[in-house]
Amino acid sequence: ALAGLVGAGRSEVARAIFGIDRWDAGAVSVDGAALPAGSPTAAMGAGLALVPEDRRQQGLVMELSIERNIGLTGLRSLHHGPTISRRAERDRARDWALKLQLKFGKLSDGVGVLSGGNQQKVVLAKWLATDPSVLIVDEPTRGIDVGTKAEVHRLLSELAGQGIAVLMISSDLPEVLGMADRVLVMHEGRLVAEIPRADATEENVMTAATGRAA
């Protein structure tokens, strides 16, 4: 997990890894292959997926339906000649809605009618449908109910168990400590600590996050 105070630069790191923003220095590689800076298309091609911090502004197209939102990342695979197969789009959306136990009326309903937790499931479904090898989730449980939060935690644990690399960014320290195999801590745009799960406590994470680490 990537931890730190608000403004430490955690979301900026996620956006740079995924190619939305260009990085100032360093490099990003997946399985030994370097990725070009500033190319989300290349990142997706390498198996990366990013669930952004703001699901309504960055993760969803609020004017579109549930099924259209889930299908946005797979438009190429949904092509039938020059057009998109609506049946394939609906089948794909239905499959992921069932897998993630999405609560909805009709797949053709606007995504805006869903609860915050179910909207987050739509964002997760959209990116999991790309079959990623690396999943970056930025504040994945912010603003959702306790029950859905537990479901998201279980899902992320299952994905990690399947061999998917999950990078979670969270301001919820108990969430970080309960979920992460190791905790990377940022302070003022820099990585200042790497703490294995066995040594991670609220005290030493906050000490690093506030710049008081030795």
Query: Tell me, what's the pLDDT at 89?
Result: 84
Query: Tell me, what's the pLDDT at 77?
Result: 66
Q: In the CATH hierarchy, which top-level class contains the domain 2-209? A: alpha beta
Query: Tell me, what's the pLDDT at 85?
Result: 73
Query: Tell me, what's the pLDDT at 183?
Result: 98
Cα separation, 12 vs 22, in Å, equals: 10
Residues β-bridged to residue 2: 169, 184
Phi-psi region of 26 (alpha: psi -120 to 50; beta: other; left: phi over 0): left
Residues β-bridged to residue 134: 48, 165
Query: Tell me, what's the pLDDT at 78?
Result: 63
pTM of the model as a whole: 0.92
Nearest residue to 119 via CA among 200, 51, 166: 51
β-pairing, 190-196 vs 182-187, is antiparallel
Query: Tell me, what's the pLDDT at 26?
Result: 87
Helix (H) or strand (E) holding 34: strand 33-35
Query: Tell me, what's the pLDDT at 47?
Result: 96
Residues β-bridged to residue 187: 190
Amino acid of residue 39 = S
Residue found under tokens 């930025």: 138
Quote the crossing angle between the two packed helices 86-99 and 116-128, to the nearest 10°.
120
Q: Tokens standing for 7?
A: 């403004």
Cα separation, 118 vs 97, in Å, equals: 10
Low-confidence ranges of the chain (pLDDT < 70): 75-82, 213-214
